[in-house]
Amino acid sequence: MKTNLINTMATVVLATSISAFAQAGDTKREASATIKCDTALQNDSNQEGSDPSVSMKLDQLQKNVLLRFDQLQKEVQHLEATDKERQEEEQKANQERIKRLRQQNEEWEHSLLGIYGG
């Protein structure tokens, strides 16, 4: 029984120490990756200032974005207009339906008055 307990305890201690060392290694890797990323961003920003083709590409990209934005605005306005027209048509159809129902109701009442007298 003692040997089983000792083996179990040794396994638990070994397992916890391995995970602790693994976590320490991960933090070191993450820190070095962060440093590499920061230096890469600094290099990119330094290159942007010195390379005119990058600024031209950014300008072109900005123009494309603005053009697409204008197109989307026009599409939204068109959709709003068609939605408004559809709502007006539905409103007219509902009004006509209500008018027909009132006429049918009046005819029904007139028929009842003719049958049962009034």
Hey, where are the domains in the chain? 1-50, 55-118
Q: What is the pTM of this model?
A: 0.42
- The mean pLDDT of the chain is 78
pLDDT recorded at residue 77: 95
Q: pLDDT by residue (tens digit) across 29-78? A: 555 655 655 565 555 555 545 578 888 889 999 999 999 999 999 999 99
CA distance 33 to 30: 5
- The pLDDT value recorded for residue 114 is 82
- The predicted structure's pLDDT at residue 5: 62
Q: Which residues contact 55 (CB under 8 A, 6 or more apart)?
A: 48
Tokens of 55: 């600024």
pLDDT digits (tens, 9 = 90+) for 4-27: 666 666 666 666 666 555 555 555
